Chains A and B, each alone.
Chain A
Amino acid sequence: MLDKIGIAKRIAQEVRDGMYINLGIGIPTLVANYIPSHLNVVLQSENGLLGIGPFPTEDKVDPDLINAGKQTITMMPGSALFSSAESFAMIRGGHVDLTILGAMEVSEQGDIANWKVPGKMVKGMGGAMDLVASAKHIIVAMQHCSKDGASKLLKECTLPITGTRCVKKIVSDLAVLDVLPQGGFKLLERAPGVSVDEIRNATAGKLIVEGEIKEMIL
């Protein structure tokens, strides 16, 4: 089973040279720490920056430089700053190659729910609906099951959805799966020490297992 860092490390393996990438809040933000240093990628921040750098040292903290999670950041050499309208124009226009975000539920059709739990305080969708509606490639970082053991990979989402038919790949604490265009979760890799049966039991939606499923290498 993977912890949060394990999920971030596995997702980092999906990153390719030359990509422009938007990282969501939480586990997706951690992915930046594990992108191999020989790859040249540019991280986009929805509040108006291409070229997010590492967190600042104490003397470099600047209140005018934050990421989408409102954390203080730095800029890489060659960065560009712009407005929120420009930022979402590049997202909506399909110019961002990869979007990595968290989810509470994903359906076997690729629907995603990650913004609202009925009965709980609604904080808002932020940029999530814009991102999932337009991204060329979406990888979801999530826990396979809730704390009480209920599957979060479902036939249909039970929570209000953020977007339809958009998730292409899932990296959970148990497995790596593709969401097929015709529907269904195709099992690609198992997390260390996790069996195919355990993954099957934890997946409420349609799970497709073909041939031998290898354990992932981190």
Chain B
Amino acid sequence: MINKVVKDANEAVRDIADNAVLMLGGFGLSGIPENCISALLAKGVKGLTCISNNAGVDDFGIGLLLKTRQVKKMISSYVGENAEFERQLLSGELEVELTPQGTLAERIRAGGAGIPAFYTPAGVGTEVAQGKETREFDGKLYLMERWLRADFSIVKAWKGDTAGNLVYRGTARNFNPMMAAAGKITIAEVEELVPLGELDPNNIHTPGIYVQRIFQGKNYEKRIEQRTIRKI
């Protein structure tokens, strides 16, 4: 097997340059590549285009990269929960492309699967349809949407092996598997890096072919946005 292990986040992001197009996994703050975001922050690369469902919060996740003005453009479905984001958007410093969440997921999936465009009913008759081809199939209107691909995809998994096979946990899977397939170079940070043979091949979520670099992350904070407790 090909060994894809790198030492840490800094080594993993070493060749990410200014103006790169990145995909970053996660839904809200769940399943985000915390270690690589910190490494990008330290590296100081600028002009990034970030494809990510959300934009983090003011002091965590992609919000950290917004604060340091390293992000030029976001492609997302929902970007609330972030005051600095709002300020930059209103002042015109930041460009944002809002995409329906299912369309975003499918555009990324299409990117990894080699499908340059597809038709979806989401957004027909709305602002999202402006400038896009609509076409009728079997009496219903659909919108053509294009694939998304990235220079680097940065994903977070629960467990991974040295060949890059990944297993996610809970709802932290979200956008990570499609992003892993849609990056020219895919970096996976995992909570636990295990030797070959330890993961059950029946239960691999992301086959290692999609992953070029993998490392075991450290000090995961896994911040919770809405801690909601049942009253007993």
B70 on interface, CB distance cutoff 8 Å: no
- Give the distance in Å from the alpha carbon of A81 to the alpha carbon of B27 in the complex: 14
Interface size class of B (residues with CB under 8 A): 35 or more
Chain B 180-208, CB-CB to A under 8 Å as 1, else 0, gives 00000000000000000000000001000
Question: Would B30 and A124 count as touching, CB distance under 8 A?
Answer: no
B174 on interface, CB distance cutoff 8 Å: yes
Question: Would A92 and B102 count as touching, CB distance under 8 A?
Answer: yes
B31 on interface, CB distance cutoff 8 Å: yes
Question: Would B80 and A84 count as touching, CB distance under 8 A?
Answer: no
A117 on interface, CB distance cutoff 8 Å: no
Question: Would A72 and B224 count as touching, CB distance under 8 A?
Answer: yes
Q: A63-B223, A161-B125 are in contact. Are A55 and B230 (CB under 8 A)?
A: yes
> Which residues of the partner chain B approach A215 to less than 8 Å between Cβ atoms?
none
**Chain A 36-72 interface residues, beta-carbon cutoff 8 Å to B:** 45-49, 54-58, 61-67, 69-72
Q: A83-B173, A133-B121, A133-B122 are in contact. Are A72 and B228 (CB under 8 A)?
A: yes
> Which residues of the partner chain A approach B30 to less than 8 Å between Cβ atoms?
47, 63-64, 66, 70
B222 on interface, CB distance cutoff 8 Å: yes
Question: Would B171 and A124 count as touching, CB distance under 8 A?
Answer: no
> Which residues of the partner chain B approach A122 to less than 8 Å between Cβ atoms?
98
Chain A 64-97, CB-CB to B under 8 Å as 1, else 0, gives 1111011111000000011111011101100000
> Which residues of the partner chain A approach B147 to less than 8 Å between Cβ atoms?
none
Question: Would A91 and B178 count as touching, CB distance under 8 A?
Answer: no
A181 on interface, CB distance cutoff 8 Å: no
Residues on B facing A (Cβ under 8 Å): 27-31, 53, 76-80, 86, 89-90, 98, 100-106, 108-109, 120-128, 158, 168-178, 205, 222-230, 232
Residues on A facing B (Cβ under 8 Å): 45-49, 54-58, 61-67, 69-73, 81-85, 87-89, 91-92, 111, 116, 121-130, 133-134, 160-164
